[in-house]
Structure 1
């Protein structure tokens, strides 16, 4: 049956009626038959029809509502967590974590709980919103089950996730999951060049953790315990992490990690790329003795091997280009082999100019402070040589500035300072330069340099990781919880870096962080429509559609499949599909 408007003229006036028609077959031919006249539509017929439809709702399974009966209840973030879950599944972490960790016990939430913690770190690493408050603001189907009916008490909520962390990290689970990540990474890139760096993570709140020790803090805060975190990356993807005692020397971790990687990922010869902090002659000799290789930087100052190389005139340098990232040219000169090793001096003219400007600014500030000290000495405060020397040393201790000035104070009330021209000339010569040393003879000069420059990726990774972790400071009491917390943050970093790869491959000039922020605008809006709870997905704009397509998500549903009846009504109803 169907409706049709019919216009009828009578005495020069036109009237509009609504008729309900149906098609019937008579004598082999189809014809229309009027089932009912539903009244004039040019007066109050539309209102009458609306009341009729409302009264007929109980006889149908269709949802018939007026605008006033639609109630929007809440909107939840969907786009960012959906992409995070898609990457998680592509890496195979959902399946492998369930296989490795087994059936969750007690109040552990299992793999969906691990994913929840990872996505929290991925999408809201800097948010002051606590995890307890964050969970109700995001939507994933796996979290809509009865198991995820989270308690009102924050402590009970926390216990569930602590149990989930314990489940994740039990036994050798972490190492087995990392083996899977390494195997997956090998399907994308050959694991031949491994980047390794180490950083300290501030530790507060508990005294019992034996790995937390007082050590060298780069953050400038003293009297705080720390742990050392070693991070291993392949082509920008973090594949493993290791926790060391906070007071352990960084150099002593390298060989242990090297053996661990070869065993854990079942690889043969590898080339380590690491910074100056990892270098000792013993380390380099041990790496070579096992037929492995390295690409490292050597010191620019007070280095018997490096000093003569830095004297080389820039006329001998040839340009090498940074591929496709818009940076200016670099210049490089490769020295003759030294004990079978290659040494490459690299010059960055932009970096040299930046260092020069910074150096001049430091010298300007120091001159002001030293002139001020000289005036005070002439005024008699301070007067004693020891006090004058202490004041001068305090000024020059900033910014490693002793190299820029000389001073004398050989009698009471006497203070003079002069530029250290020799040292300043050396700094000018060093500006913008670094020296790369490598065992690898099969790499071109350019390839060797850029492998070392890629080490910056792991340094960026540490900065990102500390954002994820907010591990700085770490408050967990037990070692396994610290280990699990850091591991969860490394997994979040893995998803972010994999998203970077996806965006880059799709030709999108967008960082993963910006993409995640944009994806948060895709929401699930929960509406009460008549007797149904319907979950609508807000449609993506063109830019968001490109981000989703880069992650192999080509179409979002308009209504989610877990929309459901809010209550039973006479006559029955069914949810929209």
Structure 2
């Protein structure tokens, strides 16, 4: 039983409150309050009489504790509630709403409707993605996180078998294609993104093992490591993002794949989505003549970074052309160059601040070289002036040669040196002069005849969004270490990380906060379950202003204060 309060507004605007003694009873499966006794208006009720009644009930059925005045210290005499469970819910709830809004749940359900699973695989897959975004851990630990720590809507329990089954389902060719395509168009429509400009780049991630997989079609292979771990087998990961930084598709290739060989597959996959006019933005690693020609098929266009130091005669002509720079931003100037022999437009970009940094670094390197060459020459002269035997002189000369070889092979200083016919080293003045011409500059080419030089330059700078996505995959979402051995499980792991990156990027863009801050704020919202004589109730802790602001910015209704009530 409990006290039930109601109110009535009079014609003059005054509000009158009434109190009644009531209890809950179940009618047709629903709990309804049933009034046992009306006690009247709250301002006229006999409060002292109610206290005496509560004290009498407590003396006969309670713990018997009374205060010095003869009344019980517990007014109602109710047994205390016991906290039996507490789970994090704030960040999970936000990701759940974005998961539904981006049609990921609908795409997964559509792919699994014809299959029979005892567990909702769409819920398991969401749990894995949420775990990767909130508290990245192994699949076995993620299952424990779902059972003990997180409140996943529609999923009360999960084990590692469920996790692996969901991963196998995600990497299925049909499911993977549906999910990625549904996500792409849902994100574009929801956020009103410009999908005619897509940025593509690749990275690699390694495995903590000594040898690569066997066979010509092996997946974990040695290759060019962008993590500088050439001693470990790896895979190559590709990512396509919009200029707003939203990752819309990802790819995986064997570890020995090179950038020049994967671009055709990327272009074909994006062409299947029938996007219409698309400009693909790629870095210098993809700018072979065949790749650039392939990007122009079916009316496509590209913005590509060009190598300025590989001796390409076309690039040399562009760099030799005179012209006036156009000021674009505080730290960016552009100059468009057109050549008669081609319809490709070239844009030279110049950053004055970067030019100063390049010159300072080069001057420092040249100074270090001169100092080291002077030290070697001085030591050689000193040793020559000392009367010593032939063996000692030979040993000293060998030491001088080793010092010169170490300087010549130095990873940053060796590029400024040239070796003379007598074996001695000197600074390559021609190299220094050539590099000085390139200080603060980079060259891009575009096949689009309509885009302005300014938009092409700024568009290419946005390629940094793809690099930021890779950085967050590896640090914030802990893409590695990867403990999976089978190829389809590795691919599924990458897809789960991609989905987590997608949800966090959408949350960041909508709220204007970093995901680290969002997760920290919403992670303090807890769902607690209390048990007492009347039954059990599950409710969430109240929200502070910062947490409310995040939900409001993303147009997401916060989790309900009371989610379930089970009367005993």
Answer whether TM exceeds 0.5 for this pair: yes
From 200, 205, 224, the counterpart of 1:196: 200
| Cα 1:373/1:222, change in 2 over 3 Å | farther
1:545 matched to 2:557: no
The structural deviation recorded for 1:70 is: 3.7
Distance 1:32 1:271, change over 3 A: closer
Secondary structure class of the residue paired with 2:155: helix
Please list the CA deviations of residues 242-301 of structure 1 after superposition, one character each: whole Å capped at 9, or x if unmatched: 2222212210111222112101x1233422110010110122223335432110011122
Cross-structure match for 1:51: 58
Over 3 Å counting, the alpha-carbon distance change for 1:36 and 1:494 in structure 2 is closer
Deviation for aligned residue 1:174: 0.4
Equivalences for residues 234-313 of structure 1 within 5 A: 234-235=242-243, 236-263=245-272, 265-301=273-309, 302-310=311-319
Q: Taking structure 1 as reference, are residues 140 and 435 closer, same or farther at Cα in structure 2, changes over 3 Å only?
A: same
Q: 2:438 aligns with which of 400, 405, 430?
A: 430
SS of residue matched to 2:480: coil
Aligned match of 2:160: 158
Aligned: 1:96 with 2:102? no
Query: Quick check: 1:545–1:554 contact (8 Å CA) kept in 2?
Result: no
- 2:527 pairs with 524, 527, 531, which one? 524
Pairing partner for 1:466 from 474, 477, 481: 474
Task: Report the Cα distance in structure 1 between the residues aligned to 2:241 and 2:318, rounded to whole angstroms.
Answer: 31
In the alignment, is the contact (CA less than 8 A) between 2:62 and 2:77 conserved in 1? no
Cα gap change, 1:563/1:34 in structure 2, threshold over 3 Å: closer, same or farther?
Answer: closer
How far off its partner does 1:129 sit?
10
Q: Are 2:139 and 2:160, in contact at CA under 8 Å, matched by a contact in 1?
A: no
Paired residues of 1:109 and 1:161 also in contact (CA < 8 A) = no
From 201, 207, 218, give the equivalent of 2:213: 207
Aligned twin of 2:352: 349
- Report how far residue 335 of structure 1 moved: 1.7
The residue that corresponds to 2:516 in the other structure is 513
Aligned to 2:561: 558
Deviation at 1:401, TM superposition (A): 2.4
In 2, Cα distance between equivalents of 1:480 and 1:229 = 14
Any gaps of 5 or more consecutive residues in structure 2? 5-20, 22-36, 64-73, 384-391
1:346 positional shift: 0.9
* Alignment-derived partner of residue 446 in structure 1: 454
Distance (Å, rounded) in 1 between the aligned partners of 2:328 and 2:173: 49
CA contact (8 A) 1:69 1:529 kept: yes
Task: Decide which of 398, 404, 418 is 1:392's aligned counterpart.
Answer: 404
The 1-side partners of 2:221 and 2:76 are apart by 65
| Superposition deviation, residue 439 in structure 1 | 1.0
RMSD of Structure 2 on Structure 1 (CA)? 3.8
What's 1:182 paired with?
A: 184
1:81 to 92, 99, 118: 92
Aligned-residue offset at 1:487: 0.9
Q: For 2:296, what is the secondary structure of its paired residue?
A: helix
- The offset of 1:119, in angstroms, is 0.7
Deviations 1:152-204 (A, max 9, x none): xxxxx322211121122234210121121222244233532222212222134
Of structures 1 and 2, the one with the larger relative CO (CA 8 A, separation 6+) is 1
- 1:401 paired with 2:409, answer no
C-alpha distance 400-66 of structure 1, shift in aligned 2 (>3 A): farther
Distance 2:39 2:97 in 1: 50
CA contact under 8 A between 1:406 and 1:420: conserved in structure 2? yes
Alpha-carbon distance between aligned partners in 1 of 2:253 and 2:105, rounded to the nearest angstrom: 28
Q: Is the 8 A contact 1:65 1:530 kept in 2?
A: no
Tell me if the contact between 2:305 and 2:445 (Cα under 8 Å) persists in the aligned partners. Answer: yes
- Partner SS, residue 203 of structure 2: strand
The Cα shift of 1:552 comes to 1.2
CA gap 1:463/1:38 in 2 versus in 1, 3 angstroms? closer
Alpha carbons 1:197, 1:230 under 8 Å: kept: yes
Partner residue in 1 for 2:152: 140
* Partners of 2:427 and 2:554 in 1: CA distance: 58
- CA-to-partner distance for each residue in 1:354-378, whole Å, 9 max, x for gaps? 3334444444555555555556655
Contact kept in structure 1, 2:328 and 2:334, CA below 8 Å = yes
1:52 offset after TM fit, Å? 5.7
The alignment status of 1:114 with 2:117, answered yes or no, reads no
- SS of residue matched to 2:304: strand
Post-superposition Cα deviations, 1:454-504, rounded to whole Å, max 9, x if no partner, equal: 11111111222233664434322222111111111111111122112212x
- Deviation per CA, 1:542-572, whole angstroms, max 9, x where unpaired? 222111112212444222x22435xx4xxxx
Distance 1:389 1:483, change over 3 A: same
Q: Kindly provide the CA deviation profile for residues 501-552 of structure 1, in whole angstroms up to 9, marking residues without a partner as x.
A: 212xxxx3x2233222222122223334455433332222222211111221
CA distance in structure 2 between the aligned counterparts of 1:201 and 1:79, rounded to whole angstroms: 31
Q: Structure 1 unaligned runs (5+)?
A: 4-19, 26-30, 40-44, 57-62, 151-156, 322-327, 569-577
Residues 344 and 445 of structure 1 are in contact (CA less than 8 Å); yes or no, is this contact kept in structure 2? yes
